[in-house]
Structure 1
Amino acid sequence: MDEPLGWLDETARARRQAGLRRTITPRDVVEPLVDLASNDYLGLARDPRVVEGAVAATRTWGAGSTGSRLVTGSTRLHADLEEDLADLVGAPAALVFSSGYTANLGAVTALSGRGAVVVSDVAAHASLVDAARLSRARVVVSRCSRPADVDAVLAEADERRRLVVTDGVDSVDGGLAPLAELHAVCRARGAILLVDDAHGLGVRGPGGAGLVSEAGLAGEPDVVTTATLSKSLGSQGGVVLGSAAVVAHLVDAARSFIFDTGLAPGCAGAALTALGVLRAEPDRVAALHAAAASIAASARSAAPTLGVPEPTAAMVPVVLGEPELAVAARDACAAAGLRAGCFRPPSVPEGTSRLRLTARADLSGDDLALVDRVLHDVLGPIVGGSRSSGAVPGVASWRPSF
């Protein structure tokens, strides 16, 4: 008889052969690497004010929230955070969850269910995909970048409850969803538009209010926004923003809210403080975009044939092709002092493994100069760049797939 878990070894071997094995690498407190892999877009995760906001909240309320939000897990901090988040993005109401993942699970499942149809973008984040699968609704995968495709799906739908879900800013390449056009389709077809603005909050819109606000959809009754507190706000947690009726329904029906322990007070305190910093220092948003433009310019100069796009958000994708090449390039960057994100299937389609370089508002001129040098040294040998300093260990034997 086969070992019950013998298939794990076979699966691990297949992943290793495909270049898709993943490892956990703990960070040290102090590291020499310039970080272009995190989602700390505004540089607030270690801001002393934000850290002190977490510490003060922990001292006041304790290390944990002690229970679900409906029992003992809601504090005055949670209510204040919800009010401030709603005010920033222009939504009537907000509901804070323990993570962006649980926020998406709660919102999608509670707003759909049996007898509903969910139209999910083909590139939707895993949390939206999982939520659609758990919803028990009929799920249709479409391209929300083409509102006409969504319109065609909704035109043929028989279900009364209709939900269209998409990322506002694509988490891999930074592409922007055509939210105004999507909303027009949804309104004409009686559908709710749910936008995951995790990578737009603090990055797009007036004062970092997000892409939904930028598109002029803030406060629309048929628009629901989800976001995370772990990116631009440097903390942890998630939020759903929408009408008072939507929030009241989630309190009654969102299982990932009802049955989950509430967000820790320290995280709520940190996010609340970060919101105050964002309001007081809106130039951080412009600094983030300037850093992203600089990183993209360096990548284009180092590897002109890779077609690195002009960034519209914090991330700069450098598509290299096969997963082994992306891993080798990531490791070569780290050896030269630069931490780069590495995306491989299933996070991206086959043949499009890449480095994802994420900008931060607090990158210095020296940091960006190092980024420029490392990208030329690493990408140059791969594509025959003129400024390369020679072969890069682990990279020279690979050929990119264009």
Structure 2
Amino acid sequence: MKPGVENDETRELLRQRIKLGEFHPFFQPIVSLEDLRVMGFEMLARHISPEGIVTPPSDFIPAMERSGLLDELMLSLMVQGFKIAATWPEQQFLSMNVSPSQLDGRYLTETIRHTAREFQFDLARLKIEITETALLNDINTARTEIEALSGMGCTIAMDDFGTGYSSLAWLIQLPVNTLKIDSSFIRSMLHKKDSRKIISSVVGLGRSLDMDVIAEGVETEEQAEMLRGIGCLYAQGYLFGKPVSGAESCRMLNAIPHKGSLRRVARLSLDQRAHQISSMYAIPGTSICFLNPELVIVDASDTFAERVGWAPQDLIHKYIYEVIPSQAEKLLWLQEFRLKGLPYPPYEVVLPDGSSDLVMVTRVEDEAKDLLGFCVFGVKMSDTRLCYPTGRPIWSW
């Protein structure tokens, strides 16, 4: 059989399946990590044969694209999806993927507008997911289309964020409201520090730009707990639910999360965290500095600089034992506690002016307990406060 004939037959078969209603939208929940409430659903295509066999999109989307049938498929799915989503509570959003070939300025915007009007679906509830690939071929046309979608009220999500080379640049050029962290980073976050750094950076970037951040592909409670610690607010994945039919999505919205599974998310903003640290720096009679794992000073309060007799600008990038030479041997002593996994005991440090500080050293760790450095916290003490009631000094050197 000639390739052209084979392609024509494949195209006609796929078109018939669309007309017969064999393609259906399935819905995967996107939840709040704070209380596990379902915030919305991502719509995903499934083919269900007359025999009841369910086929995932990876088995038919490439053929649909080669056959030029993606627009027909999308229209069929939208009609079904909008009907179902219209029965959800008003605050629930529907998220829908758009392929690169559909951002060509021909039918997408008008198709979405017309279908939403027909089924009385508020486009403010529709989230359009795009990938960086969709922008590479013709950025000007894609930008025009995305801006038109945003102008209709849709929110725009950058899918698979962090995997491309220019993703950050697109955020400046396009009306993006949501970042979706690619599942590859979630899968490796428990054992790869670089993945955790990327996730933390994306969460911080989202906060600074007032964007929602959704972690994709969350499959274990350990991943969810780490994301909570990082401060990510939203997630989707098999841990919270596989893609389900429209009827099951309605039942899922009526289900109440088990209270024992609820956790609080670390919701402090970057500004709030900075304010907390600034407040610590300003406490009278206290000094604070941060060291990296090699014991190099990366930040220090003015009070710390004053207590050790250095200019603040000269402290950064100095080893701590360069700044306080008398403490070199003490640092080796503390190393023994670190190797044994024991907390560091507070101890007295005699400073150049003859006064003493009670110093407490704590480990600074990331969400996987990997060492990021040390916090050195000093409190100016009188002789009486440096002693237990028995008069025995606290770890004086």
Q: TM-score range by the shorter chain?
A: under 0.3
What's the TM-score, normalizing by structure 2? 0.27
| Relative contact order higher in (CA < 8 Å, ≥ 6 apart) | 1
Q: Choose 1 or 2 for highest CA Rg.
A: 2
Between Structure 1 and Structure 2, the one with more strand by share is 2
